Amino acid sequence: MKILVTGGCGFIGSHTVCELLDNDYEVVIIDNLSNSKIEVIDKIKRITNKEVYFYEGNVQDKDLLQRIFKENTIDGVIHFAGLKAVGESVKVPLMYYCNNIDSTLTLLEVMSECNCKNIVFSSSATVYGVQDTPKYVETMDRGKSSSPYGETKAIIEKILEDLYTSDPTFKITILRYFNPVGAHKSGLIGENPNGIPNNLMPYILKVAVHELPELTIFGNDYDTPDGTCIRDYIHVVDLAKGHIKALEHAHNHEPNIYTYNLGSGHGVSVGEMVTAFEKANNLKLNYKYGARREGDLPEYYADPSKALRELGWKTEESLEDMCKDSYHFITMEKGE
């Protein structure tokens, strides 16, 4: 089977491409490299010893998509391409709506035209918004989005639902990721954003390798056991494997719209993450407590039981693995 992976040079996309190739799928990537580097393609080839086809371009470019579908027999699409920085989306909402939604509409139009009706979409736990309980389950309604970024995910989920209603021959799988961290065991691919990171693990890594002086823990006065926020961190390789399971499930089932949480089911506080990172890598992190970050929820984690029941998927990597693999990657990047 040949899979088109949009955003396949990015953090989650590159790990998923490796899993696809390891599982004997053929892979075509489209990425405009707006948040990734071309070197990733060679690294994927080094890791897997397999060929991967790459088109540099924007998923909003309909002509390019049509050319890709003409030049390749695409059996399914995994749609990662999108902008993902929550804070930035508040500052430049139009760029987020335009990039994330327009690219999805263009992709779906071309898929319909080419009769390719199997898509896996990267959604996010953020679509749950604020709920009465911290344990998010797929039967809950989508909540109020806390950012334009989150709103793009909620809108795309709705677009996919409407598409399925209009054309029930589509197989649509919506995967709601919790907090992906970690890196490939090879240390060749991982997440190393340019500039000052927004997310916890990339920030910890920059402090660990002395590129930034100290981590600020955003708030220690939440109603949680240690006062810091609780999230469900998931190793990116476990997450990547979830996509293979989603494709297999779609292949073996009738067209429908399927939605799954991909998370570990365990909440970990920011304080616990810092301690786990120090222990796993035998180092000390400079950190201080600061004010709460606007928009942060105190606590949420996945109920991942539907993914286990229907996809046969669950996380395997521990918090220690996430911390070790992330640090291994950043030290390799820096050539240490």
Residues lying near ligand UFG in the complex (CB under 6 A) are found at: 84, 86, 124-126, 178-179, 198-200, 203, 215-218, 229, 231, 270, 293, 296
- 82 binds, options ligand UFG, ligand NAD, none, Cβ within 5 to 8 A by partner type: ligand NAD
DSSP-based three-state secondary structure for 50: coil
181 strand-pairing partners: 235
- 301 binds, options ligand NAD, ligand UFG, none, Cβ within 5 to 8 A by partner type: none
Binding test (CB under 6 A) with ligand NAD, winner from 13, 129, 219, 263: 13
What is the widest separation between alpha-carbon atoms in the chain?
56
| Rounded CA separation 120/61 (Å) | 20
Compute the least distance from the CB of residue 198 to ligand UFG, in Å.
Answer: 5
What does the radius of gyration of the chain's CA atoms come to, in whole angstroms? 19
Point out the residues that are catalytic: 149
Q: Where does this chain touch ligand NAD (CB under 6 A) — which range of 9-17, 200-208, 218-226, 248-256?
A: 9-17
Query: How many residues of this chain bind ligand NAD (CB under 6 A)?
Result: 28
Compute the least distance from the CB of residue 218 to ligand UFG, in Å.
Answer: 4
Residue 41, amino acid: I
**Smaller CB separation from ligand NAD, 7 or 221:** 7
Which of 117, 127, 103, 113 shows the shortest CA–CA distance to 164? Answer: 117
Q: Where does this chain touch ligand NAD (CB under 6 A) — which range of 8-16, 46-54, 137-145, 278-286?
A: 8-16
What are the CA-CA distances from residue 335 to residues 5, 10, 187, 209, 329 (Å)?
29, 21, 11, 11, 10
**Smaller CB separation from ligand UFG, 35 or 199:** 199
Q: Where does this chain touch ligand NAD (CB under 6 A) — which range of 30-38, 163-171, 278-286, 322-330?
A: 30-38
Compute the least distance from the CB of residue 81 to ligand NAD, in Å.
Answer: 4
The CA-CA-CA angle for residues 81, 164, 247, to 5°, reads 55
What element of type H or E holds 321? Answer: helix 319-333
| Rounded CA separation 325/319 (Å) | 10
Binding string, 32-51, against ligand NAD, x = CB under 6 A?
Answer: xxxxx---------------
| Rounded CA separation 89/91 (Å) | 5
DSSP-based three-state secondary structure for 281: helix
Binding string, 104-143, against ligand NAD, x = CB under 6 A?
Answer: ------------------x-x-------------------
DSSP-based three-state secondary structure for 29: strand
Compute the least distance from the CB of residue 157 to ligand UFG, in Å.
Answer: 13
| Rounded CA separation 336/330 (Å) | 9
Got the DSSP string for 161-205?
A: HHHHHH-TT-EEEEEEE-EEE---TTSSS----SSS-SSHHHHHH
Q: Where does this chain touch ligand NAD (CB under 6 A) — which range of 41-49, 62-70, 177-185, 248-256?
A: 177-185
Binding test (CB under 6 A) with ligand NAD, winner from 64, 68, 76, 99: 99
Q: Where does this chain touch ligand NAD (CB under 6 A) — which range of 27-35, 131-139, 282-290, 312-320?
A: 27-35
**Binding interface with ligand NAD (CB under 6 A):** 7, 9-13, 30-36, 58-60, 80-84, 99, 103, 122, 124, 177, 179-180
